[in-house]
Amino acid sequence: MPPSFSPDLFIDFHTHRARCEQQADVLEIISSHWGDGKTSELYTLGSHPWLTPEPLAEAPLKAIEDALLHDPRCIALGECGLDKFKGPAMNVQIAVLEQLLDIADRLERSVVIHCVRAYDPLLKIKKNFSRVPHWAIHGYARHDVLAQSLVEQGFYLSVAPESTSHAGLLEAVRRIPADRLFLETDSAPAQDIVSVYNFTAELCGIDLEYLKAIISENCKTFFQK
């Protein structure tokens, strides 16, 4: 049965551990690295570039594919991606990403991407996996020009704006189309998803309940099977 993304919920699109189990109005989507063990919450499953020093063997690839096929709580691939500043050599990161995207492409599952200063190779790779339904960049923290370019090339952007964010990110958040927006905490100790929603609603000049409804609809589209 597909998950229910109620517009009454504050949905944390990307976090690494559940922190709000006692809050009935919060839904956390756990980003799980293969081998971490099963979670009772909704989750995405992938292999983080920081934690993947070499191309993946058959066993982890099969584990990820089996979870996407058979576990209804596993609702997308990710996170996976490219990082110019951390992790193995870029050719290794690209090889791993292509291994994982092959699974998502065959199963027609959406993907959650980690990308740090490696957008050019990511965009080239994306063209080769046309059956992936939807792509999201999690933790987007750069400027508006890049944000608009990524949206035009088919990405959702997941953000965690706060009062101390730089002006370029705040402008980017204001201008991300409503139907391409997600909000997250990425387990940052100083952030909670309710505060992120409240700040974003104020930043964008929109009603909080309307923002919740937008994110709900985006999740229904992104995580469709």
Helix or strand run (H / E) with residue 102: helix 90-107
CA 23 – CA 26 distance, rounded (Å)? 6
Mean pLDDT of 62-76: 96
pLDDT in tens, 136-155: 999 999 999 999 999 999 99
Whether omega for the bond prior to residue 79 falls within 30 degrees of 0, making it cis, is yes
What value, to the nearest 5°, has the Cα angle with vertex 79 and ends 132 and 210?
80
Percent of the chain whose predicted confidence (pLDDT) is above 70: 98
The residues spanned by each domain of the chain are 10-222
pLDDT score at 1: 41
Q: What CATH code would you report for 10-222? A: 3.20.20.140
The percent of residues above 90 in pLDDT, for the chain, comes to 93
Here the tokens at position 94 are 């690209």
pLDDT of 3: 63
- pLDDT by residue (tens digit) across 159-172? 999 999 999 999 99
Q: What is the model's pLDDT at position 39?
A: 81
